Amino acid sequence: MNNNMAKGVNRKSAWVKIKKHWQLYFVILIPLSYIIIFKYIPMLGAQIAFKNYNIGKGIWGSPWVGFKHFIDFFRSYEFKRLIINTAGLSVYQTLAGFVPPIILAVSLNYAENRVIRKTVQMVTYMPYFISTVILVSIMFQLLSINGMVNQVVKAIIGEPIQFLGEPKWFKTIYVWSGIWQTTGYNAIIYLAALAGIDQTLYEAAIVDGASIWKRIWYIDIPGILPTAIILLIMSTARILEVGFEKVYLLQNNMNIQSSDVISTYVYRVGLVSMQYSYSSAIGLFQSVISLIMLTLVNAVARKVSETSLW
Amino acid sequence: MKNSGKSIHNSISDSVFKIINYTFLFICFMIVIFPLMNVVSTSLSSPKAVAAGKVWIWPVEPSLVAYEKILGNKQIWTGFYNSFFYTFFGTLINVILTIMAAYPLSRKDFFGRQAIISIFVFTMMFSGGMIPTYLLIKDLGLINTRWAMIIPNALTVWNVMLARTFFQNTIPVELYEASELDGASDTVIITKVVIPLSAPILAVLTLFYAVGHWNSYFNALLYLKSQELMPLQVVLRNFMSSVNLIQNMLGPITKEQAELISLVDVMKYAIIVFASIPVIILYPFVQKHFVKGVMIGSIKG
CATH code of the domain in which B248 resides: 1.10.3720.10
**Nearest CA of chain A to the CA of B23: how many Å?**
10
Mean pLDDT, residues B15-36 taken together: 94
**Do B53 and A151 count as a contact with CB atoms less than 8 A apart?**
yes
CATH number assigned to the domain with residue range A70-305, chosen from the 4 options 1.10.3720.10, 3.20.20.70, 2.10.109.10, 3.40.630.20: 1.10.3720.10
**B56 lies in a domain?**
no
Q: What is the 3-state secondary structure (H, E, C) of A41-61?
A: HHHHHHHHHHECCECCCHHHH
Virtual CA dihedral for A163, A144, B55, B281, nearest 10 degrees? -90
C-alpha dist (Å) from residue B214 to B139, B202, B209, B233, B263 = 26, 18, 9, 8, 27
Q: For residue B200, what are the domain limits?
A: 65-301
**B46-58 pLDDT, tens digit each:** 988 888 878 888 9
Question: By the 8 A CB rule, do B193 and B184 touch?
Answer: yes
Residue A145: strand, helix, or coil:
coil
How far does CA A149 lie from the centroid of its chain? 28
Q: Are B89 and B72 in contact (CB under 8 A)?
A: no
- At B248 the pLDDT is 57
**Closest among B40, B265, B150, B216 to A246, alpha carbons compared:** B216
A1: nearest Cα among A21, A17, A24: A17
| Residue B79 maps to a domain | yes
B294 vs A267: CB contact, 8 Å cut-off? no
How does pLDDT run across B255-273, given as a tens digit for each residue?
A: 777 788 888 888 888 999 9
Contact between A133 and B295 using a beta-carbon 8 Å cutoff: no
Best of A13, A39, A40, A241 to disrupt the B interface (most B CBs within 10 Å) is A39
User: Strands (DSSP E) along chain B, which ranges?
Assistant: none
Q: Taking CB atoms and an 8 Å limit, are A271 and B215 in contact across chains?
A: no
Report the sign of the C-alpha dihedral through residues B189, B190, B196, B201, in that order. positive
pLDDT (0 to 100) of residue B109: 85
How far apart (Å, rounded) are the C-alpha atoms in residues B256 and A243? 41
Cβ separation of B134 and A211 shorter than 8 Å?
no
| Nearest one of B131, B129, B119 to A286, comparing CA atoms | B129
Contact call for A266 and B104, based on CB within 8 A: no
Q: Write down the pLDDT at residue B36.
A: 92
**pTM score:** 0.88
Put simply, the answer to whether A266 touches B120 (Cβ < 8 Å) is: no
In degrees and rounded to multiples of 5, residue B143 shows phi and psi of: -60, 135
Which pLDDT score is estimated for B298? Answer: 65
For B8-43, letters b (16+ CB in 10 Å) and e give: eebeeebeebeeebbebbeebbeebbebbbbbbbbb
Say yes or no for a CB contact (<8 Å) between A42 and B127: yes
In a domain, B55, yes or no: no
Beta-carbon separation of A38 and B17 below 8 A: no
Closest residue in chain B to residue A285, using alpha carbons only: B129
Q: How many CB pairs under 8 A join A and B?
A: 265
Nearest CB to B39 within list A14, A45, A138: A138
Closest residue in B to A279 (Cα–Cα)? B131
- pLDDT-based confidence at residue B77 (cuts at 50, 70, 90): very high
Distances (CA, A) of B29 to A167, A184, B33, B199: 30, 10, 6, 32
Which residues have a Cβ under 8 Å from the Cβ of A70 and sit 6 or more positions away? Answer: A49, A281, A285
Nearest-by-CA chain A residue for B11: A211
Nearest CA in chain B to A249: B237
Are the Cβ atoms of B185 and A180 closer than 8 angstroms? no
Q: Is residue B256 part of a domain?
A: yes
- Minimum Cα–Cα distance from A208: chain B residue: B3
Q: Are A226 and A189 in contact (CB under 8 A)?
A: no
* Nearest Cα residue in chain B from A105: B25
- Domains: count for chain B: 1
Nearest CA distance, B298 vs chain A (angstrom): 7
The more confidently predicted of residues B16 and B283 is: B16
**B25 belongs to a structural domain:** no
pLDDT tens for residues B170-197? 888 888 888 888 888 888 888 888 999 8
Q: Report CB contact under 8 Å: B287, A122.
A: yes
Q: Is the pLDDT of residue B162 over 50?
A: yes
Q: Please report, in tens digits, the pLDDT of each residue of chain A (310 residues total).
A: 444 444 444 456 778 878 778 888 999 999 999 999 999 999 999 999 999 998 888 888 899 999 999 999 999 999 999 999 999 999 999 999 999 999 999 999 999 899 999 999 999 988 998 999 999 988 988 888 878 888 889 889 888 888 888 899 999 999 999 999 999 999 988 998 898 888 899 989 988 888 888 899 999 999 998 888 888 877 887 888 888 999 999 998 889 999 999 999 999 999 999 999 999 999 999 999 989 988 888 888 777 666 555 5
Residue among A3, A38, A173 with most chain B CBs within 10 A, to mutate: A38
Of B53, B129, B152, the CB nearest to A38: B152
CA gap A212, B70 in Å, rounded: 53
Q: What is the pLDDT of residue A216?
A: 92
Of B116, B126, B284, the CB nearest to A28: B116
Using DSSP, state whether A64 is helix, strand or coil.
strand
The span from the CA of B61 to the CA of B59, in Å, is: 7
Per-residue pLDDT averaged across B156-163, rounded? Answer: 93
Between the alpha carbon of residue A144 and those of residues A141, A148, B251, B255, the distances in Å are 5, 8, 17, 21
pLDDT of residue B300: 47
